[in-house]
Structure 1
Amino acid sequence: MRLQHVIQQQFRRLSYRAPILRHVSITTTLLSLIWIYAIYWGERSVYHSSVEACAWEKWEEWPQEASPHHLVLIADPQLVDPHTYPGRPWPLSTMTERYTDLYMMRNFRLINANFDPDSIFFLGDLFDGGREWPPENARIVDKTGRKYMEEQGVLEPKAVKKRSMGAALSKPHANSMLKEDHNIGKNGEDLKAFIPGGYGKFAKYGSKQWYIDLDRFAKIFYDPAQVYPDSHRQMLAAYDVAADATSVANGATGESWQEYATSGGKSRKVVASLPGNHDVGFGAGVQLSVRERFESHFGASNRVDVVGNHTIISIDSPSLSAHSQYLKSGWESEAAQSEQLDHIWQPTWDYLDNIDQPVGKAVSDALHEYFPESRPKGWSHEVVDPEDAEKIAAHKAVNEAAKKRPHLPVILLTHVPLFRNPDTDCGPMRERGNSIKVQFGYQYQNVVTQTLSKDIVHKVSAAGDIIQVFSGDDHDYCDVTHRYNVPQPGTKSYFPNDDSLKARYQQIKEITVKSFSWAMGVRKPGFLLVSLWNPVDAQGKTIGTPLPTIQIHNCLLPDQLSIFINYGLLFLITFPLLLTQSILRIFRTSSESSRLDAPPSDTDSKSPLPRFQFTNGSLAPASPTHQRGTSSTSSHSTTNPDTANPSVQRNTTARARSVSPGSYTTNPQPSKSQPTGGLIDKAGFFPAVKWIDPADEESDEESIVGVDGVDGAGEEDDSQAKWKWRQRTRTPWGWKERVRRVGWEFGLDLVVVVVPAGGWYFWLIGRG
C-alpha cells in the first residue's frame, strides 16, 4: 500500500508538470497495448508464420541419406512504377511503391534466412514498365516495323490522332515519328530503334526511370543483407581463370579474370535473366534496344544452368512469340508476317535448334567436377598412318564417345505459359477462377500459341526428358498436365525414319507460379519451393531405384490488404471508445462544476460535533439555524433580545485573530452583542467575521471585524455572516463549448494512443 501511495503521488506530480499524462487512463493504456500487439502481428509475426509453415522438413519426403538441392522460384515481382497506376496522385503513388517494395523485401529476406536455398531463379516481369522507358540515345522505330506493330495493335495508326501523338512526345521524337521517308531495310541500323509506349504518354520519364527501378530491384533482391541475412559474408577473389587463347589473339585486353566466391558459408546462385513481357515487350512489340539493355544488366535471356543434377533451360518466350502470336482476327500469325520480325525471334529460335550443344557442355562440365577422371579424351595430336586401321578406329571410337554426352532431367523455364485449352482446370490452389483464359492485348498474351508451344517442347526435348515446366505471367497459381509426342533425347527429328527414334508420348507437368507482389491482383502472393535430388554416376545416369527427382511445394505469403483492413477495423473500434470516454469526462466535469456552484444542503452542512448556545443564562443545544454555514454566528431571542446570548461555539475552520493582551480590561463595558454576567460567561466569544476577496484592493482587513451581526435596523446582517456561501461567477457551458472541449479531450486521448503505437510502427518499418 505504501508503494502504491508513493506511485500515485509521483504520478500526480508528473501530471501537474505534463498535463498530457492526465489522459493516461485504463482505456488509453489498453488501446495502446492492443495497437502495439496488432502492429507487431501485422509487420512481423504474420510474415514469420507464413514462411515457417513452408519449412523443408514439413513436406520433403526424401530418403534419410538424401542431400537435395534447394531451389526457390519467384515470379512477377513487377516493381510498381508510374506505368502501373498512371492516374494515382502523390503521395498515394509513392506509398504504393514503398509498401510493395517493403513487402517483397521482408519476404525475400525471410526466405533466405529460414530456407537457406542453394539457388533462386526469377521467372520474368522484374519491372512493370521496363519496356516503356527508352534506352539511352534511342532511335525511333522504322517504317516497316511501325506498320506491323500497328497491325498487331501495339502502336496506334499514324492517321489516327497524329497531332495528339506528336504533342505527347518530346519534339525530337515527334518529328522523327511523323517522317514518311524513314524507310531503311530491316537489316539496317533502325532495328535498334525505340518508340515510347502507351502512345507516347510515358516519353517524359526517359531512361532515368529504368535505372531507378533497377536500383530498387537490386536493393530488394541483390543486396548482401537480403541474400545473406544475419551473417557477415563478403565477396572475395577465389581463383584466377585464364582467358581463352583465341579471345586474346583476337584482341582481348586481359589475359585472365577473377572468379569470386562468398566467405562465411555457401554461396547462393541468383538468376534473374529470364525476361517478361513487361521487361522487353511481347511479340511484335519487342524492341531490340530494350532487350539489349535488359540483357546487358541481367545476362543472356536464353541460358542453361545445371543445378542439383538437373538441367534448367530458360527461354525468351516473349521474343520467340514474334514467330507466332495471335492477331486481332483470333488466328495465329502466318509465316510471311513472322519473316518481317525475324530479328526479334531468330536468336531464340537458333538457340533452341542447337540446344544440345550448350546443354551437353554444361552437363559434361558439371559431371567432370564430380568425376574428374571421367573426362573423355578427344583426338590425340599425333601423326597416324592412313593404312593403320586400328589406330584410326581407336581414334574414331574416342571421338564418338566424346560426342555422346550424358543427359540429365530437364526443367523448362518460360515466362509465358504453354498453350492449353481455355477451360483447362488449374487445380484447387488457384485464387481467381479455375483456368487461364486464352486472351491477348497490348503487349501481352496469356499463353504461347499452340503451334509455338509444340515447337518449344520438341526442340527442348533434344536436351533430355522434360520433367517439369515452370512459368509466370498469370500472377495466379495453375497446375496443368500437357501431353506431347516428343523425340528421343539427342535427336532433332520429330518423326525420323529410323524406328528406334520415333516420337514417343510424354506427359509434362507445368506449374504457373503466383506473383511475388501483393499489388498484382492476388490477395495472397506466393513463391515456389523446389527440392531436387538426383544421385548420378559418371555417365549421368541415376544411381539406384529411379525415383521422382523433383518435389514441389507452393508457399503462400501474407495477405497485405487484409492487414491494412485489420488496422482500419481496429481504428474504427478505437475512435468511438476514445470519443465516448471524452464525452463522459466532459459531462462529469460539468456536473461537478454545477455542484460546486450550488449552495450546500443542510445535510451536507451538519457538523459532526455538537453545538450549544446560551439562553437566559444557561447552556442549551443550538438550533438548526445556528449550524455551520448559516448566515450569522449570533442569534437573539425573539422574546427577550437583551438577555439573549450568542453562540459560543467556534467554527473549526474560522480564521483566528490574535489580540494583544493589553486590549483586555478588568471591567469591560457590556455591549449589545456581548453576554452579560461573570467573566466565565464571556469565554470563547469572538465577533463575526466577513470573508472579503483578497483580490479586492479596496477591502480593509480591519474593517471586517464587527461587534454585532445586526444592522442598524435590527435586521440580521447577512453581509457580516461568518461563513456565508458566495457563488462563483462561472458561466454555464453551452453546447458549443462542450463540443469544443470534447474535441480537445478526444484529441489528447488520441495522441496518448497514437504516439506509442505510431513510434512502434515506424520503428518496425524503418528496420524493414
Structure 2
Amino acid sequence: MSYAYPRSTGASSLPSYTSVPSSKTTSESWHDLPNVAKQWMVEGAAVFQTARSQDRHDIRRFASLIFRRTFTIPSALILLWLFTLWRGERTVFQESIDACAWENWEKWPQGATPHRVAFIADPQLVDPHTYPGRPWPLSTLTVDYTDQYLRRSFSSIQNALIPDSVLFLGDLFDGGREWATSTTTSPEERYQKYTDSFWKKEYGRFMKIFLDPWMDQNELPIDGRGRRLIASLPGNHDLGFGHGIQEPVRDRFQAYFGQSNRVDVIGNHTFVSLDTVSLSAMDQVDPQTGGTSSVVNEAYPDPIWKQTNDFLNKMTYHRGRAEMGELRMMQNRSEGIQFDYRIVEPADSAIYSNDQDEPVDLPTILLTHVPLFRKPATPCGPLRERYPPSSTTEELEEDEPNSLSISGGYQYQNVLTPKISTEVVTKSGPNVVQVYSGDDHDYCELIHREFNGSPREITVKSLSWAMGVRHPGFLMTSLWNPINPETGESLQQGSSPTIQNHLCILPDQLGIFIHYGCILGLSILVLLLRSSFHVFFASEPALSNQSPVLPLSERRGDSYKHQYQTSGTSSSTLAPNGLASRASITAFPRYPVTKASHDAYRNLDQDDLVTTTSKDKGGYRPARPRGFRQKSVLMGREFVHSVRVVALVVLTVYFFLIWRW
C-alpha cells in the first residue's frame, strides 16, 4: 500500500494556521529542507489538526450522550420524588420543631432559669382494639407507621427542644384495659384471647418508643434540678372507667408505671396527679348495690374509688412531705434522706417522712386524664382544630361546635361530673392555678371561674396521628418561680404569672401520604404518556436510499428475512472489499431501543411487520408494528420498564429514610 502526497514548492504549502517564518535564517532553513521532509511536516500538521478536531467532536458527542441519558423524564421524576421524600420524612418535622423553640415564645426576665416541661397526651399505641376490623397487612402497616410517627416526634422533641421534664396525661395504650391479667380476662369475648404476656409486649413497645430517646438525652436542665419522666397517670383506655375498672388491671399498671396518685414538686410548682378514672366510680351507679357509691358499703369495703379518695383526704400530708423535701434539697440538708450506698440500720434507712411537715403553698398544678366539668357549649378557643370558633370577631359565651361535648358511654366519659370536679379542685390545694387534662385528643382551653382562683384548664392534643386529628401536637410549659429556700416564699414582686404555655403542632402525616399519592398518580400519568408518545407518535427519520448490505436485526429461527427495497434510481455504493461504505449506514430511529421494545418486536408475527416508503425523501423506514394491539403491547412493556427504573431508586431512598429515623 502506498500513499501519494502533493508536491510542495515552498511556504505556500503550509497549512493556513501556520505562519511563514519572518526571519531570514529560518526561511532559508525551511527552503533548504528536502521536499520529502517538507511533505511529512505538512502532512503531520494536517493530521494533528484533524485529530484535535476529531477529539473535540468525540467529546461533544460523549457530553451530548451523557446529557440525553441523564436529563430524561424518568430522571426528572426521580428528582421530584427525592425532593418530596426528603421533605415529607425530614424537613416538615424539623420545621415544626424549630417553630416551637423555647426562645421563640418564652418571655421571662433577663437571666431567668425556667424549668421546661413537655406534656404528652393520649399516645394510645395502636393495637387490635383500635381498628378491630382492619385486615392484614393494612393493620400491621397502621401499627408500624403510627409507632414510627410517635418515635420520630418524641425523638425530635428530646434532641431539639430538650425539655427538663416529660409528663404523660394518660391513655398510654389503646386496649390496655382489655388485655387479661393472671386472674382476669376482658369483658368482651373477642379480646379474651389476649393474655397478660401481650400487655407486657405492649409495655416494652412503649418503653422503646419513649424511654429510649429520653435516656439517650443526657443534657442537664438549665435550672440544675434534675430530669424527670412521669407516665403513671392512667387513662380510661389503660384501666377502664368507673365501675368498669378491674382492680388487677389497675394494680398491674401501677406496678410497671408507679403510683397513679402522687405529688411532685417540679420547677417550684406542686404537681398533683390524680387517678380520676377510678375516682369517677364514686359518682356512678354501683352495679352491685344499685345506688351511688359515695359511702363505703359494708359488703364492699374497698371500692375502686377508695384509693384516690383516701389520697385526696390526706392531701395536706402529701403536699407537706413533697414541698418540705424539696426545700431541704435546695438547702443541701440531707436529714432523713440517704444519698450514698452503704449499710445502715433499718431505722436510719427510711426515706424522709414527717407527719408534722406543713405545706408551703407553692402554686399548684392539677393533672387529670378526664377534663373537669364545664357547662355545655362552653367554647374551647381558637386553637381547637376540628371545629374552630364560629366567630372570629367577638368572644362567644356559647359555641356548640367549638365546645367539648358532655357525653359518655362504654368505659369512657368526656368530662368529670360536677361533684368529682369540685372534689379534686378543692382538695388538691388552696391555690390551684393550672389544670392539664387529656382524653379529648384535640386542644381545648378555658377558665373555670366557678372555682376559687379561676384556674385555667388546657386539654392537650394527642401526640398520635391516628386519633382523629390531622395535626397532632404536644404542650410546652415553662415554669419560673424563684423562691426563698428557707421559707418557700416567692421572690417575685406582685402577682406575676409563673407559668407560660405554648401549643406545638406536629406535621400532618395523613396529608403527607395524600401528597405522596398525588405525586404517584402524576408519575404514572407522565410515564404512560411518554410510552404512548414513543410508540404511537414519535416520527422516524427516513433511511438513506443506499441500503446496508448487513441486516440490522433478524429474528432467530424465522425464515423471513428483512428486505429493503430500493427505487429504480437508487444504488448501493460498496467498497472494493465488498462491504458497505460508512455513509450508507443509517441512523437508528429516534424512539429508544430498550430491552422491552426489542422483546416486543421479537414476539411479533411475520404478518405484523411491514415496510413503508418515505415519500418525502424517497427513503425507507424499518419495519414497525402494524396493529393497534401490537403497539399497545410495546407501549405496555416500555411503560413497565420506565416504572421499574423510577421505583427502584425511589423505594430504596424511601426505605432508607424511614429505617434511619
Q: TM-score, normalised by structure 2?
A: 0.72
**Which among 68, 86, 109 is matched to residue 40 of structure 1?**
86
Cα deviation for residue 209 of structure 1 reads: 2.0
CA distance in 2, matches of 1:128, 1:521: 14
Query: Residue 455 of structure 2 aligns with which residue?
Result: 508
- Change in 2 beyond 3 A, CA 1:342/1:373: closer
Residues 379 and 403, structure 2, Cα contact 8 Å, conserved in 1 = yes
User: Over residues 235-282 of structure 1, what are the superposed CA-to-partner deviations in whole Å (9 max), with x where a residue is unaligned?
Assistant: xxxxxxxxxxxxxxxxxxxxxxxxxx99xx995311000000000110
Query: Residue 216 of structure 2 aligns with which residue?
Result: 228
Which letter does structure 1 place at the counterpart of 2:197? K
Cα deviation for residue 655 of structure 1 reads: 4.1
Which letter does structure 1 place at the counterpart of 2:499? I
User: Over residues 163-208 of structure 1, what are the superposed CA-to-partner deviations in whole Å (9 max), with x where a residue is unaligned?
Assistant: xxxxxxxxxxxxxxxxxxxxxxxxxxxxxxx2414x2111112223
Query: Residue 278 of structure 1 aligns with which residue?
Result: 237
CA distance in 2, matches of 1:424, 1:307: 31
Secondary structure of the corresponding residue to residue 322 of structure 1: helix
Tell me which stretches of 4 or more aligned residues in structure 1 moved more than 6 Å: 1-4, 336-339, 373-376, 725-729
- Change in 2 beyond 3 A, CA 1:8/1:44: farther
Query: Residue 186 of structure 2 aligns with which residue?
Result: 196
Residues 124 and 276, structure 1, Cα contact 8 Å, conserved in 2 = yes
Query: Within the alignment, does 1:423 sit opposite 2:377 as a pair?
Result: yes
User: Over residues 602-660 of structure 1, what are the superposed CA-to-partner deviations in whole Å (9 max), with x where a residue is unaligned?
Assistant: xx99xxxxxxxxxxxxxxxxxxxxxx965489xxxxxxxxxxxxxxxxx78224269xx
Cα deviation for residue 332 of structure 1 reads: 9.6
Which letter does structure 2 place at the counterpart of 1:454? T
Query: Residue 324 of structure 1 aligns with which residue?
Result: 283
Aligned 1:508-657 pairs, distance under 5 A: 508-537=455-484, 538-546=486-494, 547-588=496-537, 591-592=539-540, 631=568, 653-656=573-576
User: Over residues 36-55 of structure 1, what are the superposed CA-to-partner deviations in whole Å (9 max), with x where a residue is unaligned?
Assistant: 01101000100010111011
Residues 540 and 621, structure 2, Cα contact 8 Å, conserved in 1 = no
CA distance in 2, matches of 1:115, 1:443: 36
Residues 324 and 357, structure 2, Cα contact 8 Å, conserved in 1 = no
Query: Within the alignment, does 1:733 sit opposite 2:626 as a pair?
Result: yes
- Change in 2 beyond 3 A, CA 1:350/1:745: same
Query: Residue 313 of structure 1 aligns with which residue?
Result: 272
- Change in 2 beyond 3 A, CA 1:739/1:22: farther
CA distance in 2, matches of 1:347, 1:562: 44
Which letter does structure 2 place at the counterpart of 1:460? S
Aligned 1:347-358 pairs, distance under 5 A: 347-358=307-318
Residues 311 and 408, structure 1, Cα contact 8 Å, conserved in 2 = yes
Which letter does structure 1 place at the counterpart of 2:657? L
Which letter does structure 1 place at the counterpart of 2:519? L
- Change in 2 beyond 3 A, CA 1:373/1:221: closer
Aligned 1:212-361 pairs, distance under 5 A: 212-223=201-212, 225-229=213-217, 268-325=227-284, 333=292, 335=294, 342-361=302-321
CA distance in 2, matches of 1:268, 1:465: 25
Residues 437 and 446, structure 1, Cα contact 8 Å, conserved in 2 = yes
Cα deviation for residue 575 of structure 1 reads: 1.4
Residues 285 and 293, structure 2, Cα contact 8 Å, conserved in 1 = no
Aligned 1:85-484 pairs, distance under 5 A: 85-135=131-181, 137-138=182-183, 194-197=184-187, 199-223=188-212, 225-229=213-217, 268-325=227-284, 333=292, 335=294, 342-372=302-332, 403-433=357-387, 434-461=402-429, 464-484=430-450
Matched residues, number: 514
Secondary structure of the corresponding residue to residue 222 of structure 1: helix
Which letter does structure 1 place at the counterpart of 2:634? R
Cα deviation for residue 370 of structure 1 reads: 1.3
- Change in 2 beyond 3 A, CA 1:514/1:336: same
Query: Residue 744 of structure 1 aligns with which residue?
Result: 637
Cα deviation for residue 402 of structure 1 reads: 5.3
CA distance in 1, matches of 2:127, 2:227: 28
CA distance in 2, matches of 1:202, 1:443: 15
CA distance in 2, matches of 1:311, 1:100: 33
Cα deviation for residue 736 of structure 1 reads: 1.4
Query: Residue 120 of structure 2 aligns with which residue?
Result: 74
- Change in 2 beyond 3 A, CA 1:66/1:9: same
Residues 321 and 345, structure 1, Cα contact 8 Å, conserved in 2 = yes
Secondary structure of the corresponding residue to residue 289 of structure 1: helix
Secondary structure of the corresponding residue to residue 480 of structure 1: strand
Secondary structure of the corresponding residue to residue 507 of structure 1: coil
Cα deviation for residue 458 of structure 1 reads: 1.4
CA distance in 2, matches of 1:657, 1:3: 31
Which letter does structure 2 place at the counterpart of 1:577? V
Secondary structure of the corresponding residue to residue 36 of structure 1: helix
Which letter does structure 2 place at the counterpart of 1:217? F
CA distance in 2, matches of 1:726, 1:37: 46
User: Over residues 89-139 of structure 1, what are the superposed CA-to-partner deviations in whole Å (9 max), with x where a residue is unaligned?
Assistant: 01100100111111111111111111111100000000000000001x22x
Cα deviation for residue 757 of structure 1 reads: 1.6
Which letter does structure 1 place at the counterpart of 2:325? D
Query: Residue 715 of structure 1 aligns with which residue?
Result: none
CA distance in 2, matches of 1:204, 1:569: 41
CA distance in 2, matches of 1:78, 1:568: 27
Secondary structure of the corresponding residue to residue 201 of structure 1: helix
Residues 169 and 231, structure 2, Cα contact 8 Å, conserved in 1 = yes
- Change in 2 beyond 3 A, CA 1:417/1:474: same
Give the greater-gyration-radius structure (CA).
Answer: 1
CA distance in 2, matches of 1:296, 1:4: 79
Query: Within the alignment, does 1:53 sit opposite 2:99 as a pair?
Result: yes
Which letter does structure 2 place at the counterpart of 1:563? I
Residues 323 and 341, structure 1, Cα contact 8 Å, conserved in 2 = no
Deviates further, 435-444 or 22-31: 22-31
Residues 284 and 341, structure 1, Cα contact 8 Å, conserved in 2 = no
Which letter does structure 1 place at the counterpart of 2:407? Q
CA distance in 2, matches of 1:338, 1:757: 66
Gaps of 5+ in 1: 15-20, 139-193, 234-260, 377-399, 486-504, 606-627, 634-650, 659-724
Residues 317 and 355, structure 2, Cα contact 8 Å, conserved in 1 = no
Which letter does structure 2 place at the counterpart of 1:756? V
Secondary structure of the corresponding residue to residue 521 of structure 1: coil
Which letter does structure 1 place at the counterpart of 2:105? W
Gaps of 5+ in 2: 1-52, 337-353, 388-401, 548-564, 579-617
- How well do the aligned residues superpose, as a CA RMSD in angstroms? 3.3
- Change in 2 beyond 3 A, CA 1:402/1:31: same
CA distance in 2, matches of 1:567, 1:83: 28
CA distance in 1, matches of 2:319, 2:358: 12
Query: Residue 173 of structure 1 aligns with which residue?
Result: none
Which letter does structure 1 place at the counterpart of 2:433? I
- Change in 2 beyond 3 A, CA 1:282/1:737: same
Residues 323 and 338, structure 1, Cα contact 8 Å, conserved in 2 = no
